[in-house]
A and B are shown apart, each in its own frame.
Chain A
Amino acid sequence: MFYRESGDFKTSYSADQQTFPIRLDRHVVYGILAFAFLVVPFLINDYWEKSVLLPFLVWAMAALGLNILTGFCGQVSLGTGGFMAVGAYACYKLMVAFPWLNMFIVVILAGLITAMVGVVFGLPSLRIKGFYLAVATLASQFFLVWLFNKVPWFYNYSASGMISAPERTLFGIPVTGAEAPPWMTYLFCLTLVTIFAFIAHNLVRGRIGRSWMAIRDMDIAAEIIGVPPLKAKLSAFAVSSFYIGMSGAMLFALYLGSAEPNDSFGIAKSFLVLFMIIIGGLGSILGSFLGAAFLTLMPVLLKNIMVGWFGWPADLAAHLELLLIGALIMFFLIVEPHGLAQLWRVTKERLRLWPFPH
Chain B
Amino acid sequence: MKLKKMGVALLAAGLLVTSVPAMADLMFPVLSYRTGPFGANGAENADGYLDYFALLNERDGGIGGVKVQTPECETEYKPEKGVECYESTKGNGALLYQPLSTGITYQLIPKVTADKIPMLTPGYGRTSSANGKVFEYVFNYPANYWDGASVGVKYMLDQEKGDLKGKKITLVYHNSAYGKEPIRTLEELSKKHGFTLKTIPVDSPGQEQKSQWLEIRRDKPDYVLMWGWGVMNQVAISEASKMGFPMDKFIGIWWAGSENDVKPAGEGANGYKALTFHGVGKDFPIFKDIETHLVAKGKASNGGKNIGTALYNRGLYFAMLAAEAAATAQKIHNTKDLTGAQMRDGLEALKLDKARLEALGLANFAPEITASCENHGGSGLVAVQQWDAKAGSWKLVSDFMQSDREVIDALIKADSEAFAAENKITPRECK
Contact = CB atoms under 8 A, between A and B. Distances in A.
B339 to A, nearest CB: 18
A81 B103 CA distance: 18
B244 interface: no
B212 interface: no
Nearest to B39: A315
Nearest to B104: A263
Contacts of A55: 80
B83 A50 contact: yes
A157 B39 CA distance: 31
B395 interface: no
A160 B181 contact: yes
A315 B106 contact: no
B34 interface: yes
B79 A166 contact: no
Contacts of B74: 303, 314-315, 317-318
A149 B16 contact: no
A297 interface: yes
A8 interface: no
Contact of B34 (A50, A149, A304, A315): A315
A303 B176 CA distance: 27
A149 B201 contact: yes
Contacts, number: 119
Contacts of B32: 314-315
B415 interface: yes
A308 B181 contact: no
Interface string B76-87: 101110011001
B429 interface: no
Interface stretch (B55-63, B109-117, B164-172, B252-260): B109-117
A305 B90 CA distance: 19
A314 B76 CA distance: 10
B35 A319 contact: yes
Interface string A286-322: 0000000000010011011101110001110111001
Nearest to A47: B87
A256 B73 CA distance: 18
Contacts of A49: 87
A308 B17 contact: yes
A177 to B, nearest CB: 6
A307 B126 CA distance: 30
A258 B178 CA distance: 14
- Specify which of A260, A297, A322 lies most central, judged by the most chain B CB atoms within 10 Å of its CB: A260
Interface residues of A, number: 45
A225 interface: no
Contacts of B204: 262-263, 266
B352 to A, nearest CB: 28
A51 B14 contact: no
A47 B14 contact: no
A318 B76 contact: yes
B9 interface: no
A128 B11 CA distance: 43
B84 A50 contact: yes
Interface in A17-70: 46-52, 55
A308 B204 CA distance: 31
B87 A51 contact: yes
- Specify which of A160, A179, A322 lies most central, judged by the most chain B CB atoms within 10 Å of its CB: A160
B431 interface: no
Interface in B356-403: none
A52 B35 CA distance: 22
Nearest to B17: A47
A224 interface: no
Contact of B176 (A47, A260, A313, A315): A260
A164 interface: yes
A256 B15 contact: no
A159 interface: yes
B191 interface: no
A159 B72 contact: no
A314 to B, nearest CB: 4
Interface string B167-209: 0000000011110110110000000000000000101100000
A162 B106 contact: yes
A279 B186 CA distance: 48
B45 interface: no
Interface of A: 2, 46-52, 55, 149, 159-162, 164, 166-167, 177-179, 256-260, 262-264, 266, 297, 300-301, 303-305, 307-309, 313-315, 317-319, 322
27 contacts: A50-B87, A51-B87, A51-B88, A159-B180, A159-B181, A159-B184, A160-B180, A161-B176, A164-B422, A164-B423, A166-B422, A177-B110, A177-B423, A256-B79, A256-B83, A257-B111, A264-B79, A266-B204, A297-B11, A304-B14, A304-B16, A305-B14, A314-B34, A314-B74, A315-B39, A315-B74, A319-B35
